[in-house]
Structures are given as C-alpha cells and as structure tokens.
Structure 1
Amino acid sequence: MTAVTDRVPAVGRGETRIADRVVAKIAAQAAREAVDEPSRAGKPPRATVTVHRETARVRVSLELGYPGDIGRQCGAVRRRVAERVRALAGMEVPEVSVQVERLHRAEAGTPPRRGASDE
C-alpha cells in the first residue's frame, strides 16, 4: 500500500479534458429539455461550444413554438444549458447565446394561414 506522502502531486498526474463535441451534446440536450413541448415540431436544438480551460461559451440554435413568450423561452434555455454543463462537465458557462432560427405554430398539425380566406 502506498502512503499518502508517496502519491504523485496533482501537477504531475495530468488532466482530464472533455472534448468540445461532448460539451456541445450536453448543451443541445439541455436546450431540448428547456423547450420540450408535446406538440413541438421541427429540428432539435443544435449547439456549438468554445472551451478554454474550465470555461465553455455556448451558442444554441433552435426553433420555438409561437405564439409564446420568446424571451422567457430563451431565458429558460440559457439557464438550463448553463446549469447542465456546469453539473455534468464541471465547467463554468459565462455566456449562452441563443439563436432562434424559426418560429412554428405551437398547435400540432395546424399549418400557418397566409392571406385571405377562400370561404
């Protein structure tokens, strides 16, 4: 058995690095959880990250249901992404940028109406 004093100092043991793509997957899943609606249609959220040491800057692209409070939904995405990346990857997340690519009707199967009715 090795005594505590015989252990290799932390600086000599190396480090664990979590790949950017892993952090991006965590962020995309967290965004999906934040906007999860039973009637949600469209593409799942995508995330890109820039990692520097123990800090991740995240950009999430997603589609949102409309009508709805877009600001509230984006805030929920920012909070959830920062929380999950911090918890699962151990990284600080000072910035989560949310890009809304498309709005779609919140009601399932209801196409948006354009122009005047033909009735």
Structure 2
Amino acid sequence: MTGASSGTHRPATAVAPGERGAVRIADRVVAKIAAQAAREVLGPLPKDAVPPHATVVVHHGTARVRVHLELDYPSAIGARCAAVRRQVTERVGALVDMEVREVAVHVERLLPAQTPGRA
C-alpha cells in the first residue's frame, strides 16, 4: 500500500515584490473608466445625445485620453469641458493609479435645449 499524504503542505517561499510580475490594464478598460467619468460630471444628457465615449493611449504607465461628447446648447461649453477634464483625470488616477498627462475633449455636436412647445 502506498502511504496517504499526511495533509502537510510545504511552506510557500516568499517572492520579493520586484519579482512578482506586473499588472497591465488594457487601454480599453481605461477608456471605459474615462467615458464613465465624463458621464458622471455631465449629468442627464439631452434627449437625442449619444453618451460620451473615450479613446486612450497608455504608454509607460501614463495615459493620454480623448473624450468625445455631445452637449446641450446653450450652455457653458468651456466650463463643462474643463469639468470633464478634471473628472477624467481624477477618476482614472484614483481607480487605476495611472497618471493622466492629457485629456482632450471633443464636442462632436451641440443639441438645442428642449423648450416648452417644441417637439
């Protein structure tokens, strides 16, 4: 008969932090986080607006982000774009611990505000 294992395990050898490997976060994941951050700061979108989307290039742990969005008009376009830049930088940095060097906001379309009596 062969002897059964006594249930003891070998102690795991500690691996130094620098030898454990690395985590790589895909560009598309960072892009989804950036788009969500833009949605958070913009609030409710105009009726026919397409939700914000983003493209990202990550290089050596830093990100360059382009956010494409549609805004209602009239509105403070510059202030809203600045708020999107701040929020994207903050959320990407907090969630994936990545420096955001650039956030370019592209306003694709301005949608007239809905007024009473207009369909």
TM-score (norm 1): 0.82
**Pairing of 1:1-119 with structure 2 (within 5 A):** 7-37=14-44, 39-107=46-114, 110=118
How far apart are residue 94 of structure 1 and its match?
A: 1.4
Say if 1:50 and 1:101 are closer, same or farther in 2 by CA, change over 3 A.
same
1: CA distance between counterparts of 2:70 and 2:45? Answer: 14
Say if 1:41 and 1:35 are closer, same or farther in 2 by CA, change over 3 A.
farther
1: CA distance between counterparts of 2:62 and 2:27? Answer: 11
TM-score (norm 2): 0.82
Say if 1:30 and 1:92 are closer, same or farther in 2 by CA, change over 3 A.
same
2: CA distance between counterparts of 1:40 and 1:77? Answer: 20
Match of 1:117 in 2: none
How far apart are residue 108 of structure 1 and its match?
A: 6.6
1: CA distance between counterparts of 2:35 and 2:87? Answer: 10
How far apart are residue 17 of structure 1 and its match?
A: 0.8
Could you give the per-residue CA deviations for residues 22-41 of structure 1, whole angstroms, max 9, x where no partner exists?
Answer: 00000000011111136453
Identity of aligned residues (%): 57
